[in-house]
Structure 1
Amino acid sequence: MLRTALLMLSAAPFALAASTVHAQQTPDTAGAQASDAAQRVEGESPDVGEPAYDGEEIVVVGTAGGGTRRQDAAFAVTSLSSEAIERAAPNSTADLLRTVPGVMAESSGGQNGANIFVRGYPSGGDAQFVTFQLAGVPVFPPSTLSFLENSQLIRLDETVQRVEAVRGGTGSLFSNGQPGLTVNIVPRTGGSDFHGLAKASYTDFGEIRGDAWVSGPLNEDTGFMIGGYYAQGNGVRDPQFRAEKGGQVTANVHHDFGGRGSVEIYARYLNDHGQWLLPIPVVSNNGEISAYPGFDAGSGVLAGRETRITTNLVGRRVDLAEGRGADVFNSGITFDYEVADGLRLRERTAYLGGNADTIGLVPDGAPGSAAAQAVALGGAGSTVASLSYVNGGGAVAGGANAQVMRAGIWEVRKKISSFVSDSAIEWSAGSNKLTGGFYYANYTSNDVWSLGNQVLLAAEPNARLLNLTLNGGRAATLNGFTSGPGFQVRAQYEGSDAAFYAVDEFQITPELRVDGGARWQRHVVDATIRTPAAATVNLDGNPATLYDNAVTVLGGPRLIDYSDSAWSWTAGVNYDVTNQIGIFARYSRGNSFPQFDNLRDASNADIANNTGLAITAEVETYEGGLKVSMPWLNLYATLFHNKFDGLASTQLVNNVPLSQIGGAKATGVELEGAIRPFAGFSVSAAGTWLDASYQDFFTGGGTVDNTGNRVQRQPRWAWRVTPAYEADLGSIKPSVFATLQYTGDRYSDPENQQLLPHFYQLDAGVSVDIGERVKLQVTGNNLTDEIGLTEGNPRIIGGQGQGVILARPILGRSFRFSAALSF
């Protein structure tokens, strides 16, 4: 019955042509309609104001800086109000992007370490083609480094007024020139009245969180805002220790120059970390996924008290409670001023500095018998002499038949910094507007990696450490460790980008507008790198202690001196059929330069010739769309085709980087909208159909040809539908909402041998406004406790077969209760 109902609902997004933006959105304040205020909205209560339809919203992302109505944008953009964010109840910053069509966001890795894919752009993980901005400035210019993607450096809290996301379009011209997805976080600012909010929330898995903000005037033309959050808990997947802890504080001061412009200074400090969630054992039976015996797929985790603090074979003490997160300070200034009639100056400058570390327990392979592990560790003919618990408990029941597995304690330290400046001049004359600008970014990352460090574990949640002795008295473990560091990095990277851009917008008639622009960018990287030497060492010189017989050591330093430059350009046309219906078409060509990790693994010859892993990727995009904005209906439909050349990435297999180089193509349709048939009721939805495949794409230096295979981890079909109803009972206003999301079949690997079956996820919530000040809400996530896989085993080439495999499911069922007081 449930499956039948779900299949019936699957037609809803396309029949209703709905949206990620909820019907009862908060309108922008009047000041936000002006160019100088378009980047921010006065910090008012999210429920103040009359309903507005989102075509009237001003969006800044994807524009030269002045903002435009969403209905007038000649590109695909989604805008999410603070209320829409609250109802989506995202588990992390990246999780919110599930609401954006054309985007596949996997947040099953926890608060940090998301994998985000967009419009068939091929990548192996992280968020290679996704840039996050704060107030229109990139948070960190490289969209992805190994073990660091942009969403790790920013959190959603109550200080956020709205989130904008542009796919393709003009993204290759502005900011850091991201041709994929650019997400702009727009904070609240102070205005002429005092506003504020205090909110407390609690989850059924023990997380406690507090949010607060206040904004108001400093004088007639100057306002302030300050706020943030603090939270702590063990997480849905409880490792038996405090795994989630930290907070964020944001402050800004905004001054208006009497209608001619504005200046704003802001600062944000984030110190937050959470458990890095990785694949766990599950059972696969011809595409049907079930839990591994004794291991709850929604809440089970390998980490536990025994693995929290360990000292590895080279004496390094590691605490898994540090998890993955960031301790960073971000500050900036935005300036927008009309120096003369028709002539405006804009400046956006930001600095970020701090640490973004990753500590995790990374499984090596699916559970198997201790006898099989004996052969794997000791070679053919090896048998189990003894198997015991490291921390008491004596011999392990079952001996050679006991189910065990290995996992590595990975430690990645990154000290990062960045400086970004984006300067522009805008000249308007009649129906023409010309903008020219200069973008400069300098960024660094000092890396210290120690991967490998494998331990032998009982195949169970919160696993215990094991010691294994083989026949002949050979010791396969020391305090559970079966190996030392397998892949190490010591590196100091510095990158810089300098770009000139220009764009011209011409309103030919009141209904017809065309635009075009170009960008030239130069990308430079200097680095000093040390990676493992060719030879390994036996730490104690004893061949019978197998655990330390092949420990990697760092080789000598290697210098990298890389530079390349490229042009990007775009042209678009927008035609208003009526003041509520419009169509657009656009062509764009963008580039993605190789970042630190690709250059680390590239050969000197490739770096000198800009080939192989040092190649600059080229992306061509053709897109066109329909936009409908009416009081009772919004519809945004986009057809796109992408062609990719020169893609390059690496995959760590057995602690060895394996290259993946080639091209791809993708064709897709994105739908989003909302229908409001009567007062208080709305149905919103988003859906994507995607046909993306590799073209001349090879793994392992050409050893595996993946041409024709589907691009990994991106489904053909994905959609979500959200009905919502709000009743007005005088001083009490209850509302109910639910979201059903469908994610189609995908493959975890480019070889298309690790199937990730389709799944449905059901979320729902109830909120009650009591008077003008109090709001109570409860939201439930994954109410049916679905086992939906988002990742297989990314550290192998090829399939895992049937039976017990490694995979990363979505989080299990959970509930959040909150109470807010606003003024």
Structure 2
Amino acid sequence: MIRGLTIGSAAGALLVAASATAQTTGAAQEADSAQRAEPDKGLVDTTEPQGDDVVVVGTAGGGTRRQDAAFAVTTLNNDAIERAAPNSTADLLRTVPGVMAESSGGQNGANIFVRGYPSGGDAQFVTFQFAGTPIFAPPTLSFLENSQLIRLDETVQRVEAVRGGTGALFSNGQPGLTVNVVPRIGGSEFKGFAKGSYTDYDEIRGDAWISGPLGGDTGFMVGGYYAQSNGIRDPRYRAEKGGQITGNIHHDFDGNSFVEVYARYLNDRGQWLLPIPVVSNDGKISEYPGFDGGKGTLNGPETRRTTTLVGRDVDLAEGRGAKVINTGITFDYELAEGFRFRERTSYLGGHADTLGLVPVAAPVSASAMAVTLGGAGSTLTGLSYVNGGGAVSTGADTQVLRAGIWEVRKKISSFVSDTALEWKAGPNKLTGGVFYTNYTSYDVWALGNQVLLTGTPNARLLNLTLTNAAGTAQQATLRGFTSGPAFQVRAHYDGEDTAFYAVDELEITPELRVDGGVRYQRHSVDATLQTSGPTVNLDGNVNTLYDNAVTLFGSPRTIRYRDNAWSWTAGANYDFTRSLGVYVRYSRGNSFPQFDNLREASATNIANKTGLAQRAEVDTYEAGLKLSTQIANLYATVFHNKFDGLATTTLIDNVPVSSNGGAKATGVEVEGALRPFAGFSLTAAGTWLDATYRGFFTGNGTIDNTGNRVQRQPKWMWRVTPAYELPVGGLRPSLFATLQYTGNRFSDPENLQTLPHFYQLDAGVSVDIGERLRLQVTGNNLTDKLGLTEGNPRIIGGQGSGPILARPILGRSFRFSAAVNF
């Protein structure tokens, strides 16, 4: 951390870059502060996003009017977030065009894909910021993506999301999607808010915040939430539990300068939702007999607490979540007329663990499972429940499956410093800065640990005996376990990135602005680690099949990786009027290999920066139209990107398997709002995407997927949200609904696991009673649609027809809430 502070302070000697598209920084900052401290109109801000909205994401820190931004950016105010009724932080990103967000994994464990960038899962090209600073510098580590480290609650004022464009220069240099969560700040009046909510799946949640002055130019805000439930997919124990508290103090100096200090504590966990059995028939998906596709889960009381074959006690109620503290400071000061200094510093530390029940393959008969476990010619001789009940009455015909008890422990930290100087003289503005981050992860993994289960919701543990082809009796399980740990990791990673950036913006005429910028980044990783090595037969008995191949740790080894690269961008913005403008932009961005890829890369790969150790390059060309009036807003973007050097690993049968190559994508993103008369609005967003692989190989280089569609990303996505509000006396009722379409996709790069298109309908009604009280009901997935977001990512190839494993969206649910402001 001392190194970070030294570098961050030294950056004050550099010329630094302002946002490529900002107007005067003072005006932007003043508008942003006004937005965040504005008194509430009723319970939420009922205005739709306007061109005058100030956005900070995608800039060097000063902010810019959205209508002036020469890049694709989406803003969501408090009211838009409320109407989206997201089930998780990642779920909100469904509203952003060009983004495919899969939140079917629960509160955590989302998969987020951007603009055809090839990725196997998690959120490799998505960075989350809080108050303009990255929460955790690496966008994704295995079993940890950024949205796992933050929750949306009523302390959030707005969310900003920039795609491509200037994102490759600022912050951590994310060329994909950067999402900035902007908290409320205190103003000149004391205000407060409290809300209680309850769902039809018995979730109880409370939200509250309070803000006010600490002096003439100083304000505070503090608030958060707490919630608990079994979850929509009920495992019959308390699977969802936790909360978050956020506080900040904001002080304004004279001359459009300010300092803001914040702290946020998150302690929240939830069930890691994974694929369940469904039935595929000629591309049509239906529920597996006895298994509710929207609410069923394999997790249950019998699998909650287990002791693995090597003696590790695991409680799946811990699920997937985070227990972290995030603190930071933002200092923005005008040193002299036209000369400004900025510093953004943050620290995050804590734990982000993942424990889950990971299914291997779809249910089969017990007799078929005997062959799988004992080899060809094996026959079933016994099937019984582990926890009482004796022999299973249906015997050989019983539908069974295997699932792994996966345990991943991570202790993480991240320090970030972003320091900049801005100089504005006449029509020219020059900004330059330095970005520094140091981040660590202490990992302990134990994957495998497979158990035999009934193919039913809240599955029961089974023991199985068999006779092999040689006529020898064999015990296939012990307390339900068919195997011990198969893939293990014990590692300490240390990453460091230092970047210098500079941007120049020139206003040629009042209507025409051009900008250009560069970023130089140096990336380094050091690690000491052990992964799986030889296997042993724990008891020395070959006829106890469950422990014949238990992995041990291999020899310790080290990783030392160094790389650097330049990124750059150039753009132009032309305003026909204050409400109508166009822009064009080119950018080159880079994505460096992180801990997990380097863990699996060979020493030769690391030395030569090839294979899993190579850096990915992204070229993006885009052009946009922006229209902002009192009646309508329209933002349309056409883009084309080329992606080279993707390197990632996927766990196939508990063995890391590499994928390497590139992709290209062309797309159109449209979003807008129409307000034809008072009280009515119609917002919409849509994406058309043509994304295919090129020179992309999976299966450790054995399968060429060139020409296949990029996995998990549909050609068509759209959503439409009408809303109508009609005051009646002292009441203000409001109706709103969202219809969303997700087109056909493929779950795998080989395009053998089809995910059919589906529609999802959400709706709600709220009533404001006076200026203080709001009652609201929202419903998600009202038609209880069985829409798939994932197939079986732990195999290569198709799953055929009949029973398969897949992960559907969550089933129909309702939330009832009452809120009061004061």
TM-score (norm 1): 0.95
The aligned counterpart of 1:623 is: 622
One-letter amino acid matched to 1:64: A
1:195 is displaced (CA, Å) by: 1.3
Contact 1:46 1:83 in 2 (8 A): no
Aligned AA (1:361): L
Native 8 Å contact 1:780 1:815 kept in 2: yes
Task: Summarize the alignment of residues 314-329 of structure 1 with structure 2, pairs less than 5 Å apart.
Answer: 314-329=310-325
Partner of 2:212: 216
Alignment-derived partner of residue 500 in structure 1: 500
Match of 2:444 in 1: 448
Distance across 2 between alignment mates of 1:149 and 1:103: 15
Superposed displacement of residue 196, structure 1 = 1.1
Q: 1:246 to 1:49 in 2, by over 3 A?
A: closer
Amino acid at match of 2:662: G
Corresponding residue to 1:411 among 384, 407, 414:
407
Letter in 2 for 1:516: G
Cα deviation, 1:16-41, whole Å, max 9, x if unaligned, reads xxxxxxxxxxxxxxx99542673771
Q: Which amino acid is the alignment partner of residue 198 of structure 1?
A: A
Alignment-mate amino acid for residue 783 of structure 1: L
CA contact (8 A) 1:36 1:262 kept: no
Q: Which residue of 1 aligns with 2:153?
A: 157
Deviation digits for residues 543-571 of structure 1 (CA, Å, limit 9, x no counterpart)? 11100000000001110000000000000
Distance of 2:724 and 2:653 partners within structure 1 = 52
Q: Which residue of 1 aligns with 2:516?
A: 516
Question: 1:722 maps to what in 2?
Answer: 721
- The question of whether the paired residues in 2 share the 8 Å contact of 1:43 and 1:188 is answered with no
Contact 1:53 1:629 in 2 (8 A): no
Tell me by how many angstroms 1:730 deviates.
2.9
Please tell me whether residue 35 in structure 1 is matched to residue 34 in structure 2: no
Task: Indicate the SS of the match to 2:510.
Answer: coil
TM-aligned CA deviation for residue 278 of structure 1: 0.1
User: Residue 266 of structure 1 is aligned with which of 262, 270, 273?
Assistant: 262
What one-letter code is carried by the residue in structure 1 that aligns with 2:32? A
| Matching residue's letter, 1:216 | G
How far apart, CA to CA, are the structure 2 residues paired with 1:670 and 1:34? 26
CA contact (8 A) 2:617 2:644 kept: yes
Alpha-carbon offset, residue 43 of structure 1:
6.2
Report the 3-state secondary structure (helix = DSSP H, G, I; strand = E; otherwise coil) of the residue aligned with 1:269.
strand
CA–CA separation in structure 2 for the residues paired with 1:742 and 1:34: 36
Post-superposition CA distance 1:716-756 (Å, at most 9, x none): 00000001100011311000000000000000000000000
CA distance in 2, matches of 1:121, 1:188: 33
In 2, Cα distance between equivalents of 1:576 and 1:404: 64
Q: 1:56 is paired with a residue of what secondary structure? A: coil
CA offsets, 1:324-355, max 9 Å, x none? 00000000000000000000000000000000
Task: Return the offset for 1:45.
Answer: 2.6
Q: Is the 8 A contact 1:37 1:262 kept in 2?
A: no
2:247 is the alignment partner of 1:251: yes
- In structure 2, do the counterparts of structure 1 residues 176 and 207 end up closer, same or farther at CA, with 3 Å as the change threshold? same
Cα distance, 1:287 vs structure 2: 1.1
Residue 805 of structure 2 corresponds to which residue in structure 1? 806
- Name the CA distance, whole Å, in 1 between partners of 2:769 and 2:304: 44
Give the corresponding residue for 2:8.
none
Q: Does 1:527 align with 2:522?
A: no
Which stretches of structure 1, 4 residues or more, deviate above 2 A after TM superposition? Answer: 31-40, 43-53
User: Secondary structure of the equivalent of 1:678?
Assistant: coil
Greater mean alpha carbon deviation, residues 47-56 or residues 789-798: 47-56
Residue 357 of structure 2: SS of its match in structure 1?
A: strand
Would you say the 8 A contact 1:764–1:780 is kept in 2? yes
Equivalent-residue separation in structure 2 for 1:475 and 1:163 (angstroms): 55
1:758 aligned onto 2:757: yes
Alignment partner of 1:485 is 2:482 = no
Matched to 1:532, the amino acid is S
**What does residue 5 of structure 1 align with?**
none
Query: 2:51 is paired with a residue of what secondary structure?
Result: helix
Aligned ranges 1:276-675 → 2 under 5 Å? 276-471=272-467, 472-533=472-533, 535-675=534-674
Quote the Cα distance in structure 1 between the aligned partners of 2:372 and 2:700.
27
CA positional deviation for 1:54: 1.1
Matched, 1:173 2:169: yes
Of the three residues 56, 59, 64, the one matched with 1:68 is 64
- Code of the aligned partner of 1:38: D
Measure, in 2, the Cα distance between the counterparts of 1:480 and 1:624. Answer: 58
Query: How far did residue 682 of structure 1 move?
Result: 1.1
Asked if 1:771 corresponds to 2:767, the answer is: no
Partners of 2:575 and 2:691 lie apart in 1 by 31
> 1:591, 1:402 → 2: CA distance?
51
Root-mean-square deviation (Å): 1.2
Q: Which amino acid aligns with 1:498?
A: T
CA drift of 1:572 comes to 0.5
The question of whether the paired residues in 2 share the 8 Å contact of 1:208 and 1:232 is answered with yes
Q: Distance in 1 between matches of 2:590 and 2:192?
A: 43
- 1:250-287 per-residue CA deviation (whole Å, 9 max, x = no partner) reads 00000011234000110000000000000000001111
Partner of 2:7: none
Q: 1:36 to 1:683 in 2, by over 3 A?
A: closer
Following superposition, the deviation at residue 529 of structure 1 comes to 1.2
Q: Which amino acid aligns with 1:576?
A: D
Partner of 1:784: 783
Q: Aligned letter for 2:419?
A: S
C-alpha contact (below 8 Å) 1:38/1:66 kept by paired residues:
no
Q: Identify which of 124, 127, 130 aligns with 1:128.
A: 124
Corresponding residue number in structure 2 for 1:711: 710
Q: Is the 8 A contact 1:36 1:66 kept in 2?
A: no
SS of 1:531 mapped into structure 2: strand
Alpha-carbon shift at residue 619 of structure 1 (Å) = 0.1
Cα distance in 1 for partners of 2:281, 2:27 equals 56
> How far apart, in 2, do the equivalents of 1:32 and 1:292 lie?
60
> Taking every aligned residue pair, what percent have the same amino acid on both sides?
75
Aligned mates of 1:256, 1:738 — CA distance in 2: 40
Q: Distance in 1 between matches of 2:426 and 2:27?
A: 20
1:654-690 alpha-carbon deviations (Å, 9 max, x no partner) = 1111100001000000000011111111111000000
- Partner Cα separation in structure 2 for residue 381 and residue 37 of structure 1: 75
Deviation digits for residues 358-408 of structure 1 (CA, Å, limit 9, x no counterpart): 000000000001111111111111111100000011111221111000000
Amino acid at match of 2:493: Y
- Report the residue type matching 2:223 in the other structure: G
Post-superposition CA distance 1:761-809 (Å, at most 9, x none):
0000000000000001000000000000000000000000001000000
SS in 1 for 2:302: helix
**Which residue of structure 1 aligns with residue 5 of structure 2?**
none
Cα distance in 1 between the residues matched to 2:397 and 2:772: 62
- Given the two structures, how large is their TM-score scaled by the length of structure 2? 0.95
**Corresponding residue of 1:8:** none
What is the rounded CA distance, in whole Å, between the counterparts of 1:722 and 1:478 in structure 2?
53
Contact 2:31–2:54, Cα closer than 8 Å, also in 1: no
* Distance across 1 between alignment mates of 2:369 and 2:661: 37
The aligned residue for residue 4 of structure 2 is: none
1-side partners of 2:119 and 2:339: how far apart?
42
1:46 positional shift: 5.7
CA contact (8 A) 2:49 2:75 kept: no
Question: Contact 1:247–1:272 at 8 Å: present in 2 too?
Answer: yes
CA distance in 2, matches of 1:104, 1:397: 45
Q: CA deviation at 1:702?
A: 1.8
